[in-house]
Amino acid sequence: MKLDLLVIGGCGHVGLPLALVFAERGLKVGIYDIDKSAIRNINNGIMPFKEDLAPQLIRKLINKNLFLFDRPEIISNAKYVVVVIGTPVDEHLNPLFNLMKTFFKDLMKYFRNGQNIILRSTIFPGTTQIIHDLFIKSGKNVNLCFCPERVAEGHAITEIRELPQIIAGVTKKARIAAGRLFGKINKKLIFLSPIEAELAKLFTNSYRYINFAIANQFYMIANDYNLDFFRIYNAVTQDYPRAKSFPKPGFAAGPCLFKDTMQLASFNKNTFFLGHSAMLVNEGLPNYIVDRIKKLYDLNKLKIGILGMAFKKNSDDKRESLAYKLKNICEVECKKVYCSDVYIKDSRFVPASELIKKSDLIIIAAPHNEYLKLKIPAKKLIDVWGLYQGGR
């Protein structure tokens, strides 16, 4: 089968929405993934995760413009190949550079001359050039680009269509080819060099992570003086344009913001002091909440309920969620810990109604919209996100 586009790792949060958008525009799109369970679900029209607009698109496009494969030989049959494998960090917060090189070395025999290869996920600065050199060393003449994804999980399809797309080709030919592809779904294209685009992605996520840390630090300061943070927040932000971007506090986590901030710190020889400070604040928020509770209650006698285990609002993604860190801390010190999430299936979780009934205190860890309908006694509630500000 000849394909216009193949997305490697395309059953996940980055690749699948992109594949759907291109298939919707009439391209013959393939997905290559090693997750056979996800392939089976998608072939049956079932989304493996929560994503707006995706279920109806899958049912419309599967086996028409969208095809799934579990064997790497299909790589040779695609004009464009999008790779959504990024650079992870290890337990010491150091980027694992060799994983990307190993990935391409293992698949090198399937790439062919003239193909257009696009790196899509976050990578350590300089990686695009390293992969380009790897292709040259392997005797493969391909057009390599880095085109970072910049969408919000859960709203990826809408944002792929609407947000400007950064194009960063190693060569002019690569840049033109990638621009021609992304021009089919979005006319707003921004052209950068690979190193500029790699830093642009890290800057974006680090900026967001630092802003959440500011809000969380202010929340802690207000609470330490027994003040209502949200009264202050509302006064600051109401009809005041210069505070429009001031976020509310909350458990800032997920698979990108923290990781990308640490990658930027590593790139800058560990002198990214704002990033490290943001990490201490954001990662320390669960400990801070438990310490505040400890000052008021005997934790050994306390039953704690944690509502929402996803890493963010209205999501079913639990990757790197600080709700689990909060759970682990509470389980060490508290009499009992109950967990619940409207989107995540886990046999250990209880329904929200049972959690509310059995818990002495309830912490909103992920502010899902469904929780606005719950009746939680105010004296039981710890609402870090300010979900109930303005009424229920």
**Contact at 8 Å (CB) between 135 and 144?**
yes
Q: Tens of pLDDT along 344-386?
A: 999 999 999 999 999 999 999 999 999 999 999 988 999 999 9
Residue of 339 and 98 predicted with greater confidence: 339
Longest dimension (CA), the chain: 68
Please give the Cα distance from 303 to 331 (Å, whole number): 10
Share of the chain above pLDDT 70, in %: 99
pTM to 2 decimals?
0.93
- More confident site: 334 or 93: 334
- Per-residue pLDDT, 100: 87
Res 7: pLDDT: 98
Cα 204 to Cα 278: distance, rounded to the nearest angstrom: 14
Domain 200-382 has CATH 3.40.50.720: yes
d(CA 328, CA 333): 9
What average pLDDT does the structure give for the chain? 95
Query: Is residue 183 helix, strand or coil?
Result: coil
Rg of the chain, C-alpha, whole Å = 23
Q: Which CATH architecture has domain 3-192?
A: 3-Layer(aba) Sandwich (3.40)
Task: List alpha helices for the chain, DSSP H.
Answer: 15-24, 36-43, 54-61, 97-107, 127-137, 156-162, 172-182, 194-224, 229-237, 257-267, 273-296, 322-333, 352-358
pLDDT at residue 306 in the model:
98
pLDDT in tens, 144-181: 999 999 999 999 999 999 999 999 999 999 999 999 99
pLDDT attached to residue 97: 72
Positions of CATH 3.40.50.720 in the chain: 3-192, 200-382
